[in-house]
Amino acid sequence: MEIAKQCLPDSNRKSLPDESQLGFGMHFTDHMFLMDYEHGKGWHDPRIVPYGPVMLEPAAACLHYAQAIFEGLKAYRGIDGKIRLFRAGDNVKRLNRSAVRMCIPKVDEDLAHRAICELVTVDKRWVPSSNGTSLYIRPFIFANEPFLGVRPAKKYIFCIIASPVAAYYKEGFSPVKIYVTDKYVRAARGGTGEAKAAANYAASLMASEEAKACGFTQVLWLDAAERRYIEEVGTMNIFFVFDDILVTPALSGSILAGITRDSTIKLASGWGMNVQERQVTIDEAIELSQQGRLKECFGTGTAAVVSPVGSLHYKDKDYIINGSKTGELARRLFDELTGIQYGACPDHHGWIETI
């Protein structure tokens, strides 16, 4: 399928925001990608059009029953000026896995991948060039059928928007303080935790607001059934260095399969590290911390790449990790991943495509 393009004349394009004031998700590029789905007709009419409001009936199903999924990836302006996408094909595959879980019709993966590339190409002047900045790309699908009965909707919109974003770390790494919640859960096995579903985020807000009100940056989530097994940290996957072993919770059905998680496992294994995907209990992490064997802890995700954890607060006690300083491995992973993304390090894994 051809992607139709209705592009703005240069004179009608917005002026670019100041690269030192980008923040996250505040500015949107000149264009967006849209495609419609109707039962019986399938996905049709893929097009790039000027960025702007989408018309929705108040009865649109997504507003009532949360049939909505999304993805997040970035385009980077390399040190050579070329624009790079990182593992975009994996984001498209995950979008379809989320779609299946939420009874949303799958999209053609080749078309969705092309849509990302073509949108970035049309809006390439929006890919910022200051150190650490990038163009955040947000593909998402939502049900827009005006119908209040409870069943999968018969109409959907697939949209891709893009937003220039600031460097996550402006003044170097800052290890975060994490609150381990045994009151709230993010996802239960059999639920929607492994889908990138909008509703998962709504369900997580209260716990993170309570943690923030107590001076913590984010929440560490435990499993829903026993509140023992570590799952994720905020909206990131979590890693521990126990002695010299890199450990991350195995994908259990309630954990989101992060692409940065996978890249981390592959890089660390390639460096000869012992990497284990297995169940990790909070008691094990606390016990090893008390024995001085919890060397590092960090979250991984597209937004921050690597986010060092400086302390865990669990059952009224604080456990400091690595003196609240960024660990060696977290720094090495951050340098290597951003090096690949910005073209400073060779890409041995076929993760990069230039556009």
Ligand X SMILES: *Cc1c(COP(=O)(O)O)cnc(C)c1O
Closer Cβ to ligand X, 139 or 258, answer by number: 258
CA dist 231 and 253 (Å) reads 10
Exactly one of 163, 192, 260, 341 binds ligand X (CB under 6 A); that residue is 260
Residue 259 sits in the site that holds ligand X (CB under 6 A): yes
Closer Cβ to ligand X, 307 or 311, answer by number: 307
Binding mask 276-305 for ligand X (x = CB under 6 A): ------------------------xxx---
Residue 31 sits in the site that holds ligand X (CB under 6 A): no
CA dist 99 and 113 (Å) reads 16
Residue 224 sits in the site that holds ligand X (CB under 6 A): no
- Span interacting with ligand X, options 143-151, 258-266, 267-275, 310-318, rule CB under 6 A: 258-266
Burial 112-121 (b: 16+ CB within 10 A, else e): bbbbbbbbbe
First to last CA, the chain: 20
Question: Of 69-98, which residues contact ligand X (CB under 6 A)?
Answer: 72
Exactly one of 133, 144, 237, 338 binds ligand X (CB under 6 A); that residue is 237
Closer Cβ to ligand X, 60 or 247, answer by number: 247
- Spatial neighbors of 347 by CB under 8 A, at least 6 apart, are 340
Between CA 144 and CA 147, with CA 146 as vertex, the angle to 5 degrees is 120
- Span interacting with ligand X, options 108-116, 256-264, 270-278, 318-326, rule CB under 6 A: 256-264
Exactly one of 236, 329, 330, 340 binds ligand X (CB under 6 A); that residue is 236
Q: Is the dihedral of CA 347, 350, 351, 353 positive or negative?
A: positive
For the chain, the C-alpha Rg in angstroms (whole number) is 21
How far CA 301 is from CA of 4, 38, 179, in Å, comes to 32, 33, 18
Exactly one of 196, 220, 296, 338 binds ligand X (CB under 6 A); that residue is 196
Residues within the interface to ligand X (CB under 6 A): 72, 196, 232, 235-237, 256, 258-261, 300-302
